[in-house]
A and B are shown apart, each in its own frame.
Chain A
């Protein structure tokens, strides 16, 4: 029941044994592994894999319709699941990530609680998963070993995502790259939960095995396809539910999707705390911890990138430290709400890698993206005159036709640029 002092339903230690925790699905591969790790630590976890229009419908019913689309989807997915009859509403808890930043996303958890109240499910506990420790739930504690394992989940997830995206457009047998990734997801999840402590040497060995496996997929030559980068608000950028399956659309159109990984976002969150000190003289006491965390993550990222580079077959993601360099001179790194400067940085990173086409995804009316997305396109284009950026809004009412027509325009232009035009110059046309 609602804890009077805290104002929310607390997830107690007893609940850890009795309750199933439902997890929203933003990145299928990443979250599956992280979920498995958590289950091993005694939590009963279930990743929601539902889709379909009823999710947005349910969201619209219980959430203020002007709220951003990710909130409508995530909350809609939760309530839709709770109302499906599949779960005992007295034996279920929900979990949401909360950054505590200045964007309204930090309020999702409260909107979720309001929505639950409205749906007559006010007794369902909602756990705030937050590195900032915004709420206290005795039944849910993140220990350091647990966090480390989750981190490996993120690393593996980024690697698999990168490789799948690089194989999918070229695979001779449709679906083979995804099948391989799924196989690895299961295997890695098993492995991480098998032993006690995670063994980093084994992680690195796995990188090589994964790379070899993907390299063995029968593929046509990896060239001639238009590369399209996807950046944007984190949920619609990654979640097929949020972006109408953008990745698949691009592949079907004969393009290759390039998507910066989740680790970048983790690094961005940590880095911002270091910047708070630099810019405002805040957070002095915890600087030490953040610095360690930052160095740790940067090293892990470098190891993964080097593994890909050494293997030689695939293109590695960009080092975070390089991304940070790229952004200098465009947007200030003090812009830290939502995806903040990272969004601008990722567009620059893609341009830097020669990915000349970028889809900037955002929920309709996303506040930070006015600044970091649409607001930075002009300076980005000035620096990289050949880059082609299209901003696509995602929303409960926005339709595929509209979105796809704009994507098609981008692709048509991209093809023309790469092949010197579909139409010859000496063509005659009447006036």
Chain B
């Protein structure tokens, strides 16, 4: 339906901003770009008012576009056009020679390819590298988005930051900041993460080249981001186009669409329609209010006000004092206690990206307040920045967070059964049995419902966090937002806004979802009784009365929230110092030294081994003291002769890398060292060597190898051990091998101890995916036969059928012989692994060391997949054994699941071995995205807890923050020490 109306209005309402253009006969009369703070309808009306002088009383056509515009258009009955489609239309008109468009919006990222048929793509539901992500990261650095951009232009190096979603990125950035990395470098790294996300998540194997158009707000404003895109995609200025209309492309597309299909309106009529659009809320998605009446709320407040601590006046106090510092992920807290454990001084503030400076300021202040009356006799520090602060200021003791928090909670409520701490970035909970920590649960990188989460939302909606929380208390019908990760939560909030929820309802709903996340995802509790009688809640997030109330409602019981909920870590550290430091005066640097304090951070690359860890070297007091971070092992610290403990992970790595290639008679075969190949390399290596092939192994994984292959990954939510496979294939292709071999094994080796012996779908069939998505494999012979590994006759038949078309002279007889040789080699290898396991256990016992079963999959020994966690554990004094090296030492376990995967059956037996031996602990490694581990983790945890053991789980992904892992392992050690094990 073409009309004669030459005046047209395009409106684009994205997730964070609203744009309008008024076009007449191909000329733009008016354009406007503003943030809408989720007030979609109101902002649209405002924009129309601004456009009024250009439109007047004339009739015009109009259409709406954008993710937040969808709901508005629907309920108002105005034409809608999907935003990617709209962009595509505009670009085809204006830049007919463009080969691709990259558009970043507030929460969506899109790519349109024009070469070879239009292909339009949007990010999936778990992908964060967008405008909102950049905003979030700027918040974290305590700067504006503009400042972030300026900073990024001064960078000198890039750190790897997880690009999958904001939550992961945060866990990478936080330690960088806490360790003193330069803000300019962090800023540029954030942009690089966005670029990587766009390429890995959207291009999925399709190369971005030719003339590329960059559109959307972030790419219009952020010069640094443009630069990162240009450098990464290797585009010169002629091929990277950042048009002036970049921000308005979608709105222009909407205008274009309106001319064709939009209805004719007058301004009043359109206003009326938009005003009249009211959404209905689905009653099933509403929650009961947090408080039924003001009176209820008062009662609640009075009850919690009773949990207070004695306070003293530092200005009047004389005597000894103890200092506790909690340098957390987003906030730094200090507490100074007097001799009667009274609080003399407290401090609570955001890190502002530089905790060292904050602690320096505070120490200065404390010293000036103390004068000569008060002597600091002991000090302790806890939290993410523990080591940095300890090194910088000579703090007497470092204490792991869990112990600090438990110490504080115990002081408060001696009979405490359960402590839940929700901080800015972490959730920690522990059960206490017989006066000792019995089990520790910490949130995974992906379950983000923590304090900073509410804060980010509050800011996005234009409130500070306290005012936002206050609003939630009075919500009449809190909205049910579910209990998932931030990325999902964003869209849940968007949806509820579309449905007409108020800020109050959203605030209360977010509080409920934080609580649900903690209870069901972290604690995994089925009922309130599992938590015990006396529950203490703490952490800054619980200052929010809405969260506290929601927690009590969810549990159906009253809990204790100390008045110093946010200071409990610092308070606990101070209490710890009181007990642990017996000197008359603390070793903390004094006022004089503090006056001359200086701190510099420098980047360096460790040359200790081939891993080349990227280090940050912090120097204090003109280089007199140093603190080095980023290292995976002790070598980087310059400690030459560290005691080498037995480490089965290292042993297995050495054994696999030590396999010697034979002479090349028939040709070369490439074996990618990833996924199941980590288990069967001894078998295939021997097999091909026996047949006269020279075997090329792609080598252990590395970040570089991953990046080599990331262009062809079609499913970005697959696990990292699978995704790195693409890089290994590239390595082998570069070696020009005659054939690459990675078979499809539906069934794994039958170890006769489980119901079935499958591989997981990814290990079994990843070759199919590689074949379908890596065009370059055509350059070689990619052999991925389906094999029956448990029947040598069958196997011989299948292998002969696979090899003979490529290597014509291979006979069945030879294959049969090689198969026998291969199995001998494999059995020898597995025997050796078991024997090494036994020897390591014996060695540990002879030397009085703790034993850790680092239980995962065979491929977790890869230095890139496992991120050197084995070395970290060894540096903490554990003898590390693998699950497959000790599982033969225990009998099969009756399990409550279908025990049908070979690798996982080993986990259950290893868990039993841990239960049967007091000096053995089990730590389970879980790759993010491993669906099967949703089943095994619960079962392993059950076996361990039934056996009176602590369960520790470490989730690993593309990038893993070893700082967090270290806290976990040290918490384990702390709990063991308390138990006297």
Contact = CB atoms under 8 A, between A and B. Distances in A.
Interface in A17-54: 52-54
B772 A106 contact: no
Q: Which of B80, B764, B932, B937 has the most CB of A within 10 A?
A: B764
Interface in A146-186: none
Nearest to A120: B527
Nearest to B487: A397
Contacts of A336: 746
A421 to B, nearest CB: 8
Contacts of A197: none
A405 B768 CA distance: 31
A54 B26 contact: no
A332 B745 CA distance: 12
Given A399-B488, A409-B120, A371 B768 contact: yes
B258 to A, nearest CB: 10
B690 to A, nearest CB: 23
A392 B116 CA distance: 24
Nearest to A408: B82
Interface string A358-384: 000000111111111111111100000
Contact of A401 (B89, B495, B520): B495
B94 A107 contact: no
A422 B261 contact: yes
A405 B897 CA distance: 39
A338 B483 CA distance: 27
B491 A399 contact: yes
A369 B520 CA distance: 27
Contact of B81 (A107, A364, A412, A424): A412
Q: Which of B488, B744, B746, B788 has the most CB of A within 10 A?
A: B746
Contact of B82 (A280, A375, A405): A405
Contacts of A397: 482-485, 488-489, 492
B524 interface: yes
Interface string B512-525: 00001000110010
A279 B791 contact: no
Nearest to A425: B93
A337 interface: yes
A107 B760 contact: no
Nearest to A403: B125
A83 to B, nearest CB: 12
B765 A337 contact: yes
B786 A100 contact: no
B714 A337 contact: no
B205 interface: yes
Contact of A430 (B28, B769, B937): B28
Contact of B935 (A64, A369, A406): A64
Given A7-B894, A110-B898, A118-B526, A401 B714 contact: no
Contact of B761 (A110, A338, A374): A338
B256 A409 contact: no
Contact of A330 (B498, B772, B938): B772
B31 to A, nearest CB: 10
Contact of B526 (A53, A119, A334, A404): A119
A401 B494 contact: yes
B177 interface: no
A9 interface: no
Interface string A55-90: 011001110111110000000000000000000000
Contacts of A395: 125, 484, 488
Q: Which of B81, B83, B120, B715 has the most CB of A within 10 A?
A: B715
A67 B520 contact: no
A60 B483 contact: yes
B785 to A, nearest CB: 9
Contacts of B878: none
B931 A65 contact: no
B768 A332 contact: yes
Given A62-B526, A378-B772, A102 B257 contact: no
B1 to A, nearest CB: 10
Interface in B1-25: 2, 23, 25
B164 to A, nearest CB: 12
Given A379-B772, A430-B23, A367 B760 contact: yes
B122 interface: yes
B685 to A, nearest CB: 23
B70 A429 contact: no
Interface string A385-400: 1100001010111111
Contacts of B93: 423, 427, 429
Contacts of B846: none
Contact of B122 (A60, A118, A120, A406): A406
A63 B361 CA distance: 48
Nearest to B758: A102
A327 B87 CA distance: 35
B27 interface: yes
A409 B85 contact: yes
Interface in B897-952: 897-898, 900-901, 929, 931-935, 937-938
Interface residues of B, number: 100
Interface residues of A, number: 87
A280 B747 contact: yes
Given A396-B482, A401-B498, A423-B260, A378 B714 contact: yes
Nearest to B245: A431
Contacts of B714: 374-375, 377-378
B495 A412 contact: no
B900 A375 contact: no
B335 to A, nearest CB: 35
A215 interface: no
Nearest to A275: B786
A184 B245 CA distance: 58
Interface string B88-124: 0110011000000000000000000000111010101
B232 interface: no
B931 A104 contact: yes
Contacts of B594: none
Q: Which of A334, A372, A424, A427 has the most CB of B within 10 A?
A: A334
Nearest to A280: B788
A103 interface: yes
Contact of B760 (A61, A102, A373): A102
A114 B524 CA distance: 12
Contacts of B125: 364, 393, 395, 398, 402-403
B808 interface: no
Q: Which of A107, A377, A403 has the most CB of B within 10 A?
A: A107
Interface string B62-91: 000001001100000000111111000110
B483 A429 contact: no
Contact of A53 (B89, B90, B285, B715): B285
A145 B718 CA distance: 43
A408 B762 CA distance: 31
B480 interface: yes
B465 interface: no
Given A110-B935, A330-B772, A408-B82, 19 more contacts: A102-B758, A106-B900, A109-B898, A111-B935, A279-B798, A335-B744, A337-B764, A374-B714, A378-B773, A393-B124, A397-B483, A398-B125, A402-B125, A405-B122, A406-B122, A422-B261, A423-B89, A427-B93, A429-B26
29 contacts: A54-B284, A60-B483, A60-B520, A62-B526, A64-B935, A66-B934, A102-B756, A102-B761, A110-B935, A114-B897, A280-B786, A366-B931, A370-B717, A370-B761, A371-B765, A372-B765, A376-B772, A378-B205, A393-B126, A397-B492, A399-B491, A412-B85, A413-B118, A413-B120, A424-B2, A429-B26, A429-B94, A429-B252, A431-B245
CB-based closest 10 A-B pairs: A397-B484, A397-B488, A118-B526, A375-B769, A280-B788, A428-B26, A102-B758, A334-B786, A374-B715, A66-B934
Interface of A: 7, 52-54, 56-57, 60-62, 64-68, 100, 102-104, 106-107, 109-111, 113-114, 118-120, 134, 279-282, 330-332, 334-338, 364-379, 385-386, 391, 393, 395-406, 408-409, 411-413, 416, 422-424, 427-431
